[in-house]
Structure 1
Amino acid sequence: MLQEELKELAAPALEKVKAHPFWSGLRDGSLPPESLAHFVRQDTAYLLPFYARALARTAAAARTDDYMALLGRSITGTLEARDRLREAYGELCGELGAPELGPDGMPDPATHAHCAFFQAASARSFAAGFGALLPMVWFNHQVSDDLLKRHTPGSRYARWIEVYHPGEGYGYAVKAFLGAADRLGKELGDAERAELVKHFSVSTRYEWAFAEAAWSRPSWPF
Protein backbone atom coordinates (compact mmCIF):
# COMPACT_ATOMS: atom_id res chain seq x y z
CA MET A 1 0.00 0.00 0.00
CA LEU A 2 1.22 3.48 -0.80
CA GLN A 3 0.52 4.79 2.71
CA GLU A 4 3.03 2.31 4.14
CA GLU A 5 5.66 3.45 1.65
CA LEU A 6 4.99 7.08 2.56
CA LYS A 7 5.05 6.41 6.31
CA GLU A 8 8.40 4.67 5.96
CA LEU A 9 9.70 7.56 3.87
CA ALA A 10 8.45 10.11 6.43
CA ALA A 11 9.64 8.28 9.57
CA PRO A 12 13.12 9.87 9.85
CA ALA A 13 11.71 13.39 9.35
CA LEU A 14 8.88 12.75 11.81
CA GLU A 15 11.29 11.61 14.51
CA LYS A 16 13.48 14.69 13.97
CA VAL A 17 10.40 16.92 14.16
CA LYS A 18 9.23 15.35 17.44
CA ALA A 19 12.73 15.73 18.90
CA HIS A 20 13.10 19.34 17.73
CA PRO A 21 13.70 21.89 20.52
CA PHE A 22 10.49 23.70 19.60
CA TRP A 23 8.28 20.67 20.26
CA SER A 24 10.36 19.28 23.13
CA GLY A 25 10.33 22.75 24.69
CA LEU A 26 6.54 22.77 24.51
CA ARG A 27 6.44 19.35 26.16
CA ASP A 28 8.62 20.27 29.14
CA GLY A 29 7.70 23.97 29.40
CA SER A 30 11.16 25.33 28.52
CA LEU A 31 10.20 26.91 25.17
CA PRO A 32 10.68 30.70 25.09
CA PRO A 33 7.18 32.22 24.89
CA GLU A 34 8.29 34.39 21.98
CA SER A 35 8.82 31.19 19.95
CA LEU A 36 5.26 30.07 20.58
CA ALA A 37 3.98 33.50 19.55
CA HIS A 38 6.05 33.32 16.37
CA PHE A 39 4.67 29.86 15.58
CA VAL A 40 1.04 30.88 16.10
CA ARG A 41 1.41 34.08 14.09
CA GLN A 42 3.10 32.38 11.12
CA ASP A 43 0.75 29.38 11.26
CA THR A 44 -2.53 31.27 11.50
CA ALA A 45 -1.72 34.32 9.40
CA TYR A 46 0.04 32.55 6.53
CA LEU A 47 0.58 28.80 6.50
CA LEU A 48 -2.94 27.59 7.25
CA PRO A 49 -4.63 30.01 4.81
CA PHE A 50 -2.17 29.03 2.07
CA TYR A 51 -2.73 25.38 2.89
CA ALA A 52 -6.49 25.89 2.53
CA ARG A 53 -5.99 27.53 -0.86
CA ALA A 54 -3.75 24.66 -1.98
CA LEU A 55 -6.46 22.23 -0.88
CA ALA A 56 -8.94 24.16 -3.03
CA ARG A 57 -6.70 24.08 -6.12
CA THR A 58 -5.97 20.39 -5.67
CA ALA A 59 -9.67 19.64 -5.14
CA ALA A 60 -10.47 21.44 -8.40
CA ALA A 61 -8.10 19.08 -10.21
CA ALA A 62 -9.38 15.95 -8.41
CA ARG A 63 -9.80 12.81 -10.46
CA THR A 64 -13.18 11.91 -8.93
CA ASP A 65 -15.80 13.50 -6.68
CA ASP A 66 -14.77 11.53 -3.58
CA TYR A 67 -11.30 13.07 -3.66
CA MET A 68 -12.84 16.48 -4.21
CA ALA A 69 -15.18 15.97 -1.24
CA LEU A 70 -12.32 14.92 1.04
CA LEU A 71 -10.23 17.94 0.16
CA GLY A 72 -13.24 20.25 0.26
CA ARG A 73 -14.09 19.22 3.83
CA SER A 74 -10.47 19.84 4.78
CA ILE A 75 -10.65 23.42 3.49
CA THR A 76 -13.34 24.26 6.02
CA GLY A 77 -11.58 22.30 8.76
CA THR A 78 -8.29 24.11 8.11
CA LEU A 79 -9.82 27.58 8.31
CA GLU A 80 -11.81 26.66 11.42
CA ALA A 81 -8.60 25.36 13.03
CA ARG A 82 -6.89 28.66 12.15
CA ASP A 83 -9.60 30.66 13.90
CA ARG A 84 -9.72 28.32 16.90
CA LEU A 85 -5.96 28.47 17.49
CA ARG A 86 -5.79 32.23 17.14
CA GLU A 87 -8.67 32.72 19.57
CA ALA A 88 -7.23 30.21 22.05
CA TYR A 89 -3.83 31.89 21.99
CA GLY A 90 -5.43 35.26 22.63
CA GLU A 91 -7.17 33.83 25.68
CA LEU A 92 -4.12 32.01 27.05
CA CYS A 93 -1.15 34.24 26.20
CA GLY A 94 -1.39 36.20 29.46
CA GLU A 95 -1.49 33.02 31.50
CA LEU A 96 1.48 31.66 29.53
CA GLY A 97 3.50 34.84 29.89
CA ALA A 98 3.59 35.04 26.11
CA PRO A 99 3.32 38.23 24.02
CA GLU A 100 0.12 39.14 22.25
CA LEU A 101 0.18 38.43 18.53
CA GLY A 102 -0.21 42.02 17.39
CA PRO A 103 -0.08 42.87 13.67
CA ASP A 104 0.69 39.97 11.36
CA GLY A 105 3.60 41.72 9.68
CA MET A 106 5.32 39.68 6.95
CA PRO A 107 5.83 35.93 6.69
CA ASP A 108 9.32 34.89 7.73
CA PRO A 109 11.56 33.44 4.99
CA ALA A 110 10.84 29.82 5.92
CA THR A 111 7.08 30.36 6.01
CA HIS A 112 7.21 32.21 2.69
CA ALA A 113 9.02 29.26 1.10
CA HIS A 114 6.60 26.75 2.64
CA CYS A 115 3.58 28.66 1.32
CA ALA A 116 5.17 29.00 -2.14
CA PHE A 117 5.76 25.25 -2.20
CA PHE A 118 2.07 24.55 -1.50
CA GLN A 119 1.07 27.01 -4.20
CA ALA A 120 3.43 25.56 -6.81
CA ALA A 121 2.62 21.91 -6.06
CA SER A 122 -1.15 22.42 -6.17
CA ALA A 123 -0.81 24.28 -9.48
CA ARG A 124 1.35 21.54 -11.03
CA SER A 125 -0.99 18.53 -10.87
CA PHE A 126 -3.43 16.67 -8.66
CA ALA A 127 -0.75 14.11 -7.75
CA ALA A 128 1.81 16.77 -6.84
CA GLY A 129 -0.74 18.72 -4.82
CA PHE A 130 -1.95 15.70 -2.89
CA GLY A 131 1.61 14.60 -2.14
CA ALA A 132 2.54 18.07 -0.89
CA LEU A 133 -0.58 18.38 1.30
CA LEU A 134 -0.50 14.98 3.00
CA PRO A 135 2.47 15.47 5.39
CA MET A 136 0.87 18.42 7.16
CA VAL A 137 -2.20 16.28 7.95
CA TRP A 138 -0.11 13.29 9.03
CA PHE A 139 2.53 15.20 11.02
CA ASN A 140 -0.03 17.37 12.81
CA HIS A 141 -1.81 14.23 14.00
CA GLN A 142 1.39 12.54 15.14
CA VAL A 143 2.95 15.60 16.78
CA SER A 144 -0.18 16.76 18.60
CA ASP A 145 -0.77 13.22 19.93
CA ASP A 146 2.88 13.06 21.04
CA LEU A 147 2.56 16.40 22.84
CA LEU A 148 -0.53 15.23 24.69
CA LYS A 149 1.00 11.90 25.71
CA ARG A 150 4.52 13.02 26.65
CA HIS A 151 4.20 16.56 28.01
CA THR A 152 5.18 17.27 31.60
CA PRO A 153 1.96 17.54 33.64
CA GLY A 154 1.49 20.97 35.12
CA SER A 155 4.25 22.50 32.99
CA ARG A 156 3.98 25.96 31.48
CA TYR A 157 2.34 24.93 28.21
CA ALA A 158 0.18 22.04 29.44
CA ARG A 159 -3.03 24.00 28.89
CA TRP A 160 -1.94 25.15 25.41
CA ILE A 161 -1.09 21.55 24.44
CA GLU A 162 -4.62 20.48 25.37
CA VAL A 163 -6.08 23.28 23.25
CA TYR A 164 -3.68 22.70 20.36
CA HIS A 165 -4.72 19.07 19.98
CA PRO A 166 -7.34 18.87 17.19
CA GLY A 167 -9.45 16.26 19.01
CA GLU A 168 -10.26 12.59 18.57
CA GLY A 169 -12.25 13.20 15.39
CA TYR A 170 -9.14 14.40 13.58
CA GLY A 171 -7.91 10.83 13.43
CA TYR A 172 -10.75 9.97 11.07
CA ALA A 173 -9.67 12.72 8.68
CA VAL A 174 -6.11 11.39 8.74
CA LYS A 175 -7.33 7.86 7.99
CA ALA A 176 -9.37 9.23 5.09
CA PHE A 177 -6.30 10.95 3.62
CA LEU A 178 -4.17 7.83 4.02
CA GLY A 179 -6.92 5.71 2.49
CA ALA A 180 -7.05 8.10 -0.45
CA ALA A 181 -3.28 7.72 -0.83
CA ASP A 182 -3.69 3.95 -1.07
CA ARG A 183 -6.35 4.31 -3.77
CA LEU A 184 -4.17 6.74 -5.69
CA GLY A 185 -1.27 4.33 -5.45
CA LYS A 186 -3.34 1.88 -7.49
CA GLU A 187 -4.87 4.41 -9.88
CA LEU A 188 -1.91 6.59 -10.83
CA GLY A 189 0.56 5.81 -13.56
CA ASP A 190 4.21 5.41 -12.68
CA ALA A 191 5.13 9.03 -13.46
CA GLU A 192 2.24 10.50 -11.48
CA ARG A 193 2.89 8.17 -8.54
CA ALA A 194 6.55 9.22 -8.51
CA GLU A 195 5.48 12.87 -8.57
CA LEU A 196 3.22 12.33 -5.55
CA VAL A 197 5.99 10.61 -3.60
CA LYS A 198 8.55 13.28 -4.52
CA HIS A 199 6.35 16.15 -3.35
CA PHE A 200 5.44 14.23 -0.20
CA SER A 201 9.13 13.80 0.59
CA VAL A 202 9.91 17.49 0.09
CA SER A 203 6.90 18.48 2.19
CA THR A 204 8.11 16.44 5.19
CA ARG A 205 11.25 18.57 5.24
CA TYR A 206 9.19 21.74 5.35
CA GLU A 207 7.53 20.40 8.52
CA TRP A 208 10.96 20.38 10.18
CA ALA A 209 11.83 23.78 8.72
CA PHE A 210 8.66 25.33 10.16
CA ALA A 211 9.52 24.10 13.65
CA GLU A 212 13.09 25.36 13.21
CA ALA A 213 11.86 28.79 12.17
CA ALA A 214 9.53 28.99 15.18
CA TRP A 215 12.47 28.08 17.41
CA SER A 216 14.98 30.52 15.90
CA ARG A 217 12.43 33.24 14.94
CA PRO A 218 14.15 34.50 11.76
CA SER A 219 12.99 37.70 10.13
CA TRP A 220 13.79 39.81 7.12
CA PRO A 221 16.85 41.99 7.83
CA PHE A 222 15.26 45.08 6.28
Structure 2
Amino acid sequence: MFRRLFGQRDAEPASRLAQVRNITVGRTVALDPLAWRRLGAETCFTLDRDALEITAQGLIQLDDGPFVHRFYTDDHVMLQAMSDDAAGAAAYDFTLFTPWSSAYPPDGAARRAWADRLSEPVFNGQAEGLPSYPRFWFSESEARQPPVRLWESVYDDRTALEPYSRIFQTCMLYARDLAGGRELMIALEQEPQGGEPTHEIMIGIPLDMAEFSA
Protein backbone atom coordinates (compact mmCIF):
# COMPACT_ATOMS: atom_id res chain seq x y z
CA MET A 1 0.00 0.00 0.00
CA PHE A 2 2.74 2.48 0.97
CA ARG A 3 4.60 1.81 -2.27
CA ARG A 4 1.47 2.77 -4.21
CA LEU A 5 0.85 5.86 -2.07
CA PHE A 6 4.33 7.27 -2.47
CA GLY A 7 5.02 6.12 -6.01
CA GLN A 8 7.80 3.69 -5.14
CA ARG A 9 8.44 1.19 -7.92
CA ASP A 10 9.54 -2.39 -7.64
CA ALA A 11 13.20 -2.86 -8.49
CA GLU A 12 14.00 -3.79 -12.08
CA PRO A 13 14.71 -7.53 -12.39
CA ALA A 14 18.42 -8.23 -12.20
CA SER A 15 20.16 -9.05 -15.45
CA ARG A 16 21.60 -12.54 -15.58
CA LEU A 17 23.46 -12.04 -18.86
CA ALA A 18 26.94 -10.70 -19.40
CA GLN A 19 27.30 -7.03 -20.25
CA VAL A 20 30.28 -6.53 -22.53
CA ARG A 21 31.17 -2.84 -22.65
CA ASN A 22 27.55 -2.16 -21.64
CA ILE A 23 26.16 -4.32 -24.48
CA THR A 24 23.39 -6.80 -23.72
CA VAL A 25 19.84 -7.66 -24.80
CA GLY A 26 17.69 -4.54 -25.14
CA ARG A 27 20.59 -2.13 -25.67
CA THR A 28 21.52 -0.15 -28.79
CA VAL A 29 25.05 -0.25 -30.17
CA ALA A 30 26.33 2.79 -32.07
CA LEU A 31 28.87 2.04 -34.82
CA ASP A 32 31.39 4.17 -36.64
CA PRO A 33 30.75 3.53 -40.39
CA LEU A 34 34.41 4.26 -41.13
CA ALA A 35 35.10 0.79 -39.72
CA TRP A 36 33.90 -0.70 -43.01
CA ARG A 37 34.06 2.27 -45.37
CA ARG A 38 37.83 2.31 -45.02
CA LEU A 39 37.90 -1.04 -46.87
CA GLY A 40 36.58 0.63 -50.01
CA ALA A 41 35.01 -1.11 -52.98
CA GLU A 42 37.07 -4.29 -52.47
CA THR A 43 35.09 -5.51 -49.50
CA CYS A 44 32.06 -7.80 -49.56
CA PHE A 45 30.98 -6.44 -46.17
CA THR A 46 27.93 -4.18 -46.29
CA LEU A 47 25.80 -2.58 -43.60
CA ASP A 48 23.08 -0.01 -44.21
CA ARG A 49 23.01 1.60 -40.76
CA ASP A 50 25.21 2.76 -37.91
CA ALA A 51 23.13 1.46 -34.96
CA LEU A 52 22.26 -2.09 -33.87
CA GLU A 53 19.26 -3.01 -31.71
CA ILE A 54 20.35 -6.06 -29.73
CA THR A 55 17.53 -8.59 -29.36
CA ALA A 56 19.44 -11.80 -28.58
CA GLN A 57 22.71 -12.78 -26.94
CA GLY A 58 24.83 -15.91 -27.25
CA LEU A 59 27.55 -17.43 -25.10
CA ILE A 60 30.14 -20.05 -26.07
CA GLN A 61 32.80 -21.56 -23.84
CA LEU A 62 35.73 -22.84 -25.86
CA ASP A 63 37.56 -26.00 -24.87
CA ASP A 64 40.76 -24.11 -24.08
CA GLY A 65 39.05 -21.71 -21.67
CA PRO A 66 38.06 -18.40 -23.34
CA PHE A 67 34.44 -17.33 -23.79
CA VAL A 68 32.81 -16.00 -26.94
CA HIS A 69 30.06 -13.42 -26.45
CA ARG A 70 27.71 -12.78 -29.36
CA PHE A 71 25.07 -10.06 -29.71
CA TYR A 72 22.40 -10.31 -32.41
CA THR A 73 19.86 -8.08 -34.15
CA ASP A 74 16.55 -9.33 -35.55
CA ASP A 75 18.11 -9.48 -39.04
CA HIS A 76 21.07 -11.57 -37.81
CA VAL A 77 23.82 -8.96 -37.72
CA MET A 78 26.27 -10.21 -35.09
CA LEU A 79 28.71 -8.34 -32.86
CA GLN A 80 31.21 -10.71 -31.25
CA ALA A 81 33.73 -10.37 -28.44
CA MET A 82 36.18 -12.67 -26.70
CA SER A 83 36.89 -12.69 -22.98
CA ASP A 84 38.61 -14.85 -20.40
CA ASP A 85 35.54 -14.85 -18.16
CA ALA A 86 31.82 -15.54 -18.63
CA ALA A 87 30.93 -12.04 -17.40
CA GLY A 88 32.89 -10.38 -20.20
CA ALA A 89 34.56 -7.98 -17.78
CA ALA A 90 37.80 -7.76 -19.76
CA ALA A 91 36.64 -8.37 -23.32
CA TYR A 92 38.89 -8.14 -26.37
CA ASP A 93 39.03 -9.09 -30.07
CA PHE A 94 35.81 -7.44 -31.28
CA THR A 95 34.34 -8.33 -34.67
CA LEU A 96 31.19 -7.43 -36.59
CA PHE A 97 29.50 -9.88 -38.99
CA THR A 98 26.61 -9.55 -41.42
CA PRO A 99 24.85 -12.52 -43.07
CA TRP A 100 25.76 -13.35 -46.66
CA SER A 101 23.91 -16.59 -47.41
CA SER A 102 21.83 -19.27 -45.71
CA ALA A 103 20.67 -22.61 -47.10
CA TYR A 104 19.13 -25.87 -45.92
CA PRO A 105 21.27 -28.85 -47.00
CA PRO A 106 19.02 -31.30 -48.89
CA ASP A 107 20.63 -34.46 -47.55
CA GLY A 108 23.54 -36.04 -45.70
CA ALA A 109 25.75 -35.93 -48.78
CA ALA A 110 25.41 -32.13 -48.92
CA ARG A 111 26.34 -31.90 -45.26
CA ARG A 112 29.44 -34.03 -45.79
CA ALA A 113 30.45 -31.94 -48.82
CA TRP A 114 30.11 -28.77 -46.74
CA ALA A 115 32.28 -30.22 -43.98
CA ASP A 116 34.87 -31.12 -46.63
CA ARG A 117 34.87 -27.51 -47.89
CA LEU A 118 35.43 -26.25 -44.35
CA SER A 119 38.41 -28.56 -43.98
CA GLU A 120 40.35 -27.07 -46.90
CA PRO A 121 43.04 -24.40 -46.33
CA VAL A 122 41.23 -22.08 -48.77
CA PHE A 123 37.47 -21.62 -49.09
CA ASN A 124 36.46 -21.17 -52.72
CA GLY A 125 33.42 -18.89 -52.53
CA GLN A 126 32.59 -18.85 -56.24
CA ALA A 127 29.33 -20.79 -55.75
CA GLU A 128 28.17 -18.13 -53.27
CA GLY A 129 29.34 -15.14 -55.33
CA LEU A 130 32.39 -14.60 -53.14
CA PRO A 131 36.15 -14.61 -53.70
CA SER A 132 38.44 -17.22 -52.21
CA TYR A 133 39.34 -16.87 -48.53
CA PRO A 134 42.46 -18.33 -46.89
CA ARG A 135 41.87 -20.05 -43.59
CA PHE A 136 42.45 -17.80 -40.54
CA TRP A 137 42.20 -20.53 -37.94
CA PHE A 138 45.09 -23.01 -38.35
CA SER A 139 46.64 -20.70 -40.96
CA GLU A 140 50.10 -21.97 -40.08
CA SER A 141 49.35 -25.22 -41.93
CA GLU A 142 48.38 -25.96 -45.53
CA ALA A 143 47.05 -29.39 -44.57
CA ARG A 144 43.37 -30.19 -44.35
CA GLN A 145 42.00 -29.36 -40.91
CA PRO A 146 38.68 -30.51 -39.42
CA PRO A 147 36.39 -27.57 -38.66
CA VAL A 148 35.80 -26.41 -35.10
CA ARG A 149 32.74 -27.79 -33.30
CA LEU A 150 31.04 -25.95 -30.45
CA TRP A 151 27.76 -25.27 -28.65
CA GLU A 152 26.22 -21.81 -28.37
CA SER A 153 23.58 -20.95 -25.78
CA VAL A 154 21.29 -18.14 -26.99
CA TYR A 155 19.14 -15.89 -24.79
CA ASP A 156 16.51 -13.27 -25.64
CA ASP A 157 15.72 -12.14 -22.08
CA ARG A 158 18.18 -10.49 -19.69
CA THR A 159 16.61 -12.22 -16.67
CA ALA A 160 16.46 -15.73 -18.19
CA LEU A 161 17.84 -18.63 -16.17
CA GLU A 162 18.00 -20.91 -19.21
CA PRO A 163 18.69 -20.22 -22.91
CA TYR A 164 15.78 -20.27 -25.30
CA SER A 165 17.94 -22.16 -27.79
CA ARG A 166 21.15 -24.19 -27.90
CA ILE A 167 22.84 -24.48 -31.28
CA PHE A 168 25.51 -26.97 -32.30
CA GLN A 169 27.93 -25.41 -34.79
CA THR A 170 30.58 -26.74 -37.11
CA CYS A 171 32.58 -23.77 -38.32
CA MET A 172 35.76 -22.29 -39.76
CA LEU A 173 37.03 -18.70 -39.82
CA TYR A 174 38.75 -17.19 -42.87
CA ALA A 175 40.35 -13.83 -43.65
CA ARG A 176 41.72 -11.92 -46.61
CA ASP A 177 43.81 -8.76 -46.52
CA LEU A 178 42.58 -5.77 -48.50
CA ALA A 179 44.28 -2.44 -49.16
CA GLY A 180 42.21 -0.82 -46.40
CA GLY A 181 42.42 -3.61 -43.84
CA ARG A 182 41.28 -7.15 -43.15
CA GLU A 183 37.98 -8.76 -44.14
CA LEU A 184 36.76 -11.85 -42.29
CA MET A 185 34.43 -14.65 -43.34
CA ILE A 186 32.93 -17.38 -41.19
CA ALA A 187 31.34 -20.45 -42.77
CA LEU A 188 29.37 -22.82 -40.59
CA GLU A 189 26.75 -25.46 -40.25
CA GLN A 190 24.41 -24.76 -37.38
CA GLU A 191 21.89 -27.18 -35.96
CA PRO A 192 19.52 -25.95 -33.24
CA GLN A 193 18.38 -28.57 -30.76
CA GLY A 194 15.18 -29.98 -32.22
CA GLY A 195 15.63 -28.02 -35.48
CA GLU A 196 16.95 -28.42 -38.99
CA PRO A 197 20.59 -27.78 -39.92
CA THR A 198 21.50 -24.82 -42.12
CA HIS A 199 24.66 -23.75 -43.89
CA GLU A 200 25.58 -20.14 -43.21
CA ILE A 201 28.16 -17.66 -44.47
CA MET A 202 28.80 -14.35 -42.75
CA ILE A 203 31.17 -11.55 -43.77
CA GLY A 204 32.93 -9.64 -41.03
CA ILE A 205 35.37 -6.93 -40.06
CA PRO A 206 37.52 -6.35 -36.97
CA LEU A 207 36.38 -3.51 -34.72
CA ASP A 208 38.54 -1.23 -32.60
CA MET A 209 37.03 -0.33 -29.22
CA ALA A 210 36.70 3.28 -30.37
CA GLU A 211 34.49 2.22 -33.28
CA PHE A 212 31.45 1.17 -31.23
CA SER A 213 29.64 2.04 -28.01
CA ALA A 214 26.41 1.22 -26.14
Q: Same fold (TM over 0.5)?
A: no
Q: TM-score, normalized by length of structure 1?
A: 0.24
Q: Give the structure with higher Rg (CA).
A: 2
TM-score (norm 2): 0.24
Q: Considering fraction of residues, name the structure with more strand.
A: 2
- Structure with higher helix content: 1
